[in-house]
A = this chain, B = another copy of it.
């Protein structure tokens, strides 16, 4: 005898439901989609059989028939990133209670991989894709936008089916540096991001501009390149210390490097902020709990995610959309203080 698990249960399809409820498939479809009025008795019958069979319509078939998948591709860089994670959460929240759901894929800051993922998303016929920064070229993006709506962060670009959001990193870095200068610091080290990273250069520019604004000399030995990772921050401090340059403050181009820098400083018995002031960039969730709590530039990543998803919904609806750049904000916590003379 065959057990339930062994026998090939007949797939429960819309057609099965229709038959069991004594109506036509179209009627079931109408009820499912609210496409047209259906008499109360039939509706009841159908609803009951749906419940009885625990019927779950096949989204593939539905997509195929409608030419819409109700899914929005999201190209992030590292699925585990605490930074982009906030954006994903914003996207999820914006999509909750809509018919759409997100499909997350990661590109790992690698052009080829990002392209492959875009191909995957296109194959899956997503209704649009939100690109969280990354390395795809502007023309490439414009090109994708010929076929589907695109919302992209981290650059300024626009086109028929393409909207972008960008934050003003130049401004953010300039403000952060200015904060240090206002506290009396004149020898401020800068731990920079990868030279080929779009944001990294803007932040460096901001750091420099603040010096120019204040009539302060730029000391090239105080700018040390790193990789946006904690280890990079540690190495940078080491290099800075070995260079025997004086400095009373360190501005790291992102919080992760600031964390590394913090630890390296601790190892050398340099106190923050008493000996050295430290500033980060991003305001990762953890930065409130750094010791001491880190002064940093807050990026409204969650908000960006939310706005991006909302804009995408509009684009899909065929409406125009644009996203106002949400402002960066310097969050002064306890890792910076007036320089001691």
Contact = CB atoms under 8 A, between A and B. Distances in A.
A99 B248 CA distance: 54
Contacts of A289: 230, 259-260, 262-263
Contact of A82 (B5, B80, B105, B160): B80
A327 to B, nearest CB: 22
Contact of A123 (B59, B79, B82, B89): B59
A290 B86 CA distance: 21
Given A259-B286, A291-B266, A79 B69 contact: no
A243 B4 CA distance: 59
Contacts of A292: 266
Interface stretch (A36-44, A60-68, A130-138, A206-214): A60-68
Given A78-B89, A80-B88, A85-B79, A59 B124 contact: yes
A56 B123 contact: yes
Contacts of A262: 289, 291
Given A104-B104, A259-B289, A291-B266, A125 B81 contact: no
Interface string A101-123: 10111100000000000011011
Interface residues of A, number: 47
Contact of A58 (B59, B103, B123, B260): B123
A85 B81 contact: yes
A275 interface: no
A22 interface: no
Contacts of A69: 60
Interface string A294-333: 0000000000000000000000000000000000000000
A208 to B, nearest CB: 28
Nearest to A290: B291
Nearest to A293: B263
Contacts of A78: 89
B125 A58 contact: yes
A194 interface: no
Nearest to A6: B160
A106 B102 CA distance: 11
Contacts of A238: none
Contacts of A104: 79, 104
A146 interface: yes
Contacts of A58: 64, 123, 125
Residue from the set A57, A262, A263, A293 with the largest chain B CB neighbour count within 10 Å: A263
A174 to B, nearest CB: 27
Given A80-B85, A146-B5, A262-B289, A122 B230 contact: no
A92 interface: yes
Contacts of A82: 80, 82, 85
Closest 7 interchain pairs by CB?
A80-B85, A259-B289, A60-B63, A291-B291, A59-B123, A79-B88, A80-B89
18 contacts: A5-B160, A58-B64, A58-B125, A59-B123, A60-B60, A60-B64, A60-B124, A60-B125, A80-B85, A82-B85, A101-B105, A101-B120, A230-B289, A259-B289, A262-B291, A263-B291, A266-B291, A291-B291
